[in-house]
Structure 1
Amino acid sequence: MKASQEGYPLLWLKRALVNGSSLPAPARRKLYLKTVLSALAVIWLITGLVIVITPTRYTCKWVLILPGAGAGAVVSLDSLGQASSSSSSPYLSSAIDPRENYKAIALSDKLLSDAAAQLNLKASALGTPKLKLPSQTGLMEFSISANSAELAEQKAWAHYRTLQGTLSHLRIDEIHIRENGVRMGLESFADKVHQSQANIVAFQSKTGLVSLDQFKEVAVTIEHLRQSQVNLTAKLNGGLASQQLLEADLSLTASQSTDLLKLKNDQLFQQLLVNYTESTALLVGLNGHFGEQHPQVLTAKTEQKTMLDALHSRCQKLLTRCDPKLMLILSVDDIDGRAELMQKLINITTENEGLTHELASLSTQIDEWEIRLKHSNDDAAKLEDLHRDHQLATAVFTSAIAKIDVGKADIFSAYPLLQLFAAPTRPEKPDKLGLILTLVGGIAASMMVIVGLSILWIRKPILQKILTND
């Protein structure tokens, strides 16, 4: 027996695999059940801890796009001709994708640090956004996660603003470098232009003459102003005549008409006026039947005085100054039929006041233009010479600028335009990908335990059959 075991050193392992334990079936079943439950408990305990410990994450997404079309422009220079500029599409080169350059910028440590600084965060707390570049498109799909929906949105906007700011800074820096190179060859031309312009400005400041056309137009302007003065005077005289006729018909001034209409349109004043009229009528009726010291007469007088004081108080509040004559007119006359005439008087008076101010301003302008005409006669020839020198210097300078810099006018030539296609929006629901993966892992581990123990349970007949055949 001992010799047999020495010849087959692994015989005991074979026997253990085939025959298993010597436990009876109920005890063996109970052992397997405990093993399964223990393994599942450990698996789901770990899964639950992972779910509880892992913080909730919210993912904010936004999409940027690089327009595919190029831009072109034609600049027309007066007396010089035309100059054209154009920028090609950023996708013309098949070897370079501008989105890859932007990807490197968007994910650079410097940009992430600047974006985090906007939120008073560390770069590590901001995290690195995920970026996808769909093929055959100009889209750049960004996404970034945070522990709250608001923070995720703030991170997205901070990254977007920082990216655009970085690109703007790079464009400005690139333009600045080019301009420095251009200015080195144009400083002498610019000095001549500035000097000629300074001569013109100094002469204009000294004389007040801006151009030769201005000198020719001064006399025409004065004539137009005088004609306008005549027309305004005639119009004002007609308005004053109409105002006097209306004031005579109404026996009121425009100011009184305004006050009357304001009192008439005030509902509280009208109600007080009605009450005053009724109390007055009541007093007149009582005076016809009773003596002056009768209690009813005294009560009616008190009520009338109260209404009169209320009318006067309301009138003072509406008009600041109250004329008893106006209240008498409202209480005695029916002004509804004359309201239209009073409004017409107010309108005509207002128009006359405006015409008076306009006429005074027009007279002042005529005097100023006449003084200006007297001082402009001797300066026209000198101004013409200065303008000729300035035009020559400007033509040379502008021509050089157009030939050297017109082809570089597009600020997006080096760094293409980047537009916001889909703005960052606050996520409504948390990102459940981590939770789903954790649950899938727990389910997979549970299935593996169950399948493994099931195979162990049914291994005896299978292995016995296989080993017996062998």
Structure 2
Amino acid sequence: MTNEYPPISPSALAASIDRGRRLRYVALALAANLSIWGIVLFLLKDSPREYTSQWSIMVLGKVPKSASDEGSGSTGATSAASEAGNFKASYKLIATTDSVRKAAAAKVGMTTEQFSQPQVQVLPGTELMTFTITGSTRQEAQKKAYALHEAFQERLNQLRIQQAEEQEAGFENTLSVARKKLESAQFRLSDYKVRAGLASKDQIDELARSIETLRRSRAEVAAQQRDASIRARQLATDLNMSSSLASEAFTLRTDPLFQQYLREYSEATASLANVSIKLGPNHPVVVGETARQSAAQAALLERAEALLGRAVDLAAIARLNTGSGSQTATPREDLFKQIVNYNVERQALAARVQEIDRQIYQLEQRLNILAQRNSTLDALNRDMQIAEAIFSSKLAGLDASSVPIFNSYPPIQMVADPTLPEKRCNSQTKTLFYLCHNCLFVDNCRALTPLSTQNTAL
């Protein structure tokens, strides 16, 4: 029995099977393409369309160069660029924080969830930063951009103030110990000055100068006293009368009643002498004049005793008599006056010497006390000076190490205002097209790859 069908070669059978599979793969790829594009178009149709506002700022801060940076040009430039990049990276993080978004949302009357997340781009090699933000309308996008920029500025100011406060608090904590030591040293010094009555070493020097001045004055007064004593002694020797007797004579000379009694006694004595020559002792006239003389003598002696404070006789009165009873001063009376004046001057000078000696003694005692207290004062002064030096050193060190707030948070300037977008944009368009492109590329490649290649790969 013969076969009615011609025999089929294995190669033809394999080719027929490959064509069938390829048709199936193409059909599947077409169905997948249609499905994916349908999903993409559906999503693009229902996805919200937004407006995007864009603006740019410039970081104005300059990074200070250190001494080592100035010595190496390339290293310094690299360090400055690195610091500038750090500022921009920090600003990018700050601008996208929830606190900034919340403040910006409050400015446009939105909640934080309604306020979209801004996009920040740092331009390498420049000080520029680009910001973008979306909104449902053109005006809303621009308003949100301005609100975000203002909130970003306010946040930077808050951070600067916070840094200044923390830096001030750190300075205060560092200086508090040194300040307390300085205040304690000042208090101890002031308290000791009040209790010791010693303000400075100048007081001791002034006290020593005062003592020296008093000693020179005492020497001068003592010399005057010796001179007065010599003159009084010389005059008393010439008159054969001491200064005390001269003083008594001058006392009697200046007493009117004593001078009256002396005149009466002199007149009675003279009258008695005249009548005694002519008449006998028992004659009534002689007896009367004798009684008169006795009465005048008794009054004279009584008055002299009362003035001089001691009993005297007529011989003493005669010795102390300076002259006649006239009002005109006699040479003897002038000499007596000189003796008395010299004696008074000597006594006054002696009293002055004693007073100066007393003052010198008191000042020397005070000088000894202050000299002993001066050592304690010097020690307290040294303690205060050391405390002042430590405080000044710490203050200078803190001033040198203090960092200006704009060094950590440099100021920014808007170089391009937020745009008022003209066209709407779909935020998911690029993403969907990218996914769709990748999926279709894979499917098409599998569909168009020869079966034999796929089998070989398998």
- The two structures share one fold, judged by TM-score above 0.5: no
Range into which the TM-score falls when normalised by the shorter chain? 0.3 to 0.5
State which structure, 1 or 2, has the greater radius of gyration over its C-alpha atoms: 2
TM-score normalised by length of structure 2: 0.38
TM-score normalised by length of structure 1: 0.37
